[in-house]
A and B are shown apart, each in its own frame.
Chain A
């Protein structure tokens, strides 16, 4: 008898007779309520530790910021202060590959509107870089006392709300089909190659380039935890996110659509633990002004995250989750991540990204144009029945 069958039998027979408490039929401890709470808490602790080990302020792990740094490390943009092949992201992807293989969940699939996923990824990062943070960093900033992040969070929830409305209108990106195993492995292997590259071409003190990769000499790109620590923590986070399905977008989305709190418990645990860790490490500073890698222009903090929330919702999950899905063999999520890389490069080359001083006119236009474009495309991608 398989585990699932046993649990089903157990619930339907023994439970009624003996009044035993309802057992969970899900058969994955990470996906229970306790599981998601503990997962969120562990990811939070690790994010705080990464910041303690040298990552920038309230940026233990930020998928948008780190994708931007990777774009810089590859020479895709010219912002010298944000160039580093963030090993956390590589770890996140490969950790998910390891977890999915260990539990028989690796599955190569693709074909659910990949070109739209590419643009969603690009627009999402533009929005996130106007606010200066992905949904994970929004929570990290809140837990670090940055009050601007509450405005970003409000924008994120508004964006998710628009996204769920488009879903409710019948938005359908189409069915992903099973495909050759090697295709699903392509993206994890490509990221693994970059990791090997980091060991072969490590940063040379005082040099901006080592082998193929660019490194920052100052600014956020120069602030990073030791390579080994970043890789290992990234792997653990990738493993946990794969098992628990931790997703910050999913948390709010499921609450709006299904009145379900499950994933949100993970996000709440994440904030609380980071808050405690920040207080312990002396990293907590309450206020709007002079927050690390942040600006105080409320309207663009809000609208930037409206765009990000909308794109992540239509894309099926937060950026951390997209990396994990890409690691599990989802080709469309891999395209989404590559779209994020492209969006991050363009965001700096075209001056769309915010600076601590605020958001330039190009960034403002990009956010408004992005919100309209994505809503219109989403509207036309609905099933009419």
Chain B
């Protein structure tokens, strides 16, 4: 599973990074790491909008990890 590290990035960079990895056909599953709730919500909303399934959301040390699957 490829990890997209979007810690410390402001809008719209986390989603730009995530979308560019989603476009790569090799990536069937992705883990996106962000450090704020706004970015977490945006990741979930965008993934759902592009019909990817959210398989795990976890929080650790003020970081959010969202795992998504095509």
Report if A and B associate in a common complex. yes
Task: Give me the interface of A with B, judged by CB distance under 8 Å.
Answer: 2, 4-5, 8, 11-12, 22, 25-26, 28, 31, 103, 105, 107, 109, 111-112, 164, 167-168, 172-173, 175-178, 245, 247, 250, 253-254, 257-258, 260, 262, 316-317, 332
Question: With A4-B57, A245-B38, A258-B19 known to touch, is A167 a contact of B44 (CB < 8 Å)?
Answer: no
Per the bound structure, the CA–CA distance linking A26 and B44 in Å amounts to 7
Q: CB within 8 A of A245: which of B41, B48, B55, B57?
A: B41
Identify the interface centre among A25, A109, A112: most chain B CB within 10 Å of its CB: A25
Give the shortest distance, in Å, between A103 (CB) and chain B (any CB): 8
Taken residue by residue from 1 to 44, chain B's Cβ proximity to chain A (1 for < 8 Å, 0 otherwise) reads as 00000011111110110010000000000000001111001001
**Cβ–Cβ < 8 Å partners of B37 in chain A:** 28, 103, 105
Chain B residues in the interface with A (C-beta under 8 A): 7-13, 15-16, 19, 35-38, 41, 44-46, 48-49, 53-57, 59, 62
Q: Provide the bound-state CA to CA distance between A167 and B13, in Å.
A: 8
A321 — nearest CB in chain B belongs to which residue?
A: B11
Residues of A with C-beta under 8 A to B38: 245
Minimum CB–CB distance from B35 to chain A (whole Å) comes to 8
Q: Please state if A112 and B10 are interface contacts (CB–CB under 8 Å).
A: yes
Separation of A176 and B14 alpha carbons in the complex (Å): 13
| Contact (Cβ within 8 A) A317 B11 | yes
Give Cα distance in the complex from A258 to B43, angstroms: 12
- In the bound complex, do residue A25 and residue B13 qualify as a contact, i.e. CB atoms below 8 Å apart? no
Residue numbers in B under 8 Å from A247 (CB-CB): 11
Shortest distance from the beta carbon of A29 to any chain B beta carbon, whole Å: 11
In the bound complex, CA of A173 to CA of B46 (Å): 23
Q: Is the CB of A25 within 8 A of B8?
A: no
**What are the residues of chain B within 8 A of A105 when measuring CB–CB?**
36-37
A11–B69 alpha-carbon span in the complex (Å): 14
B46–A107 CB distance below 8 A = no
> What is the CB-to-nearest-CB distance from A35 to chain B, in angstroms, rounded to a whole number?
10
> Does the CB pair B41–A109 fall under 8 Å?
no
Cα A105 to Cα B56 with chains together (Å): 21
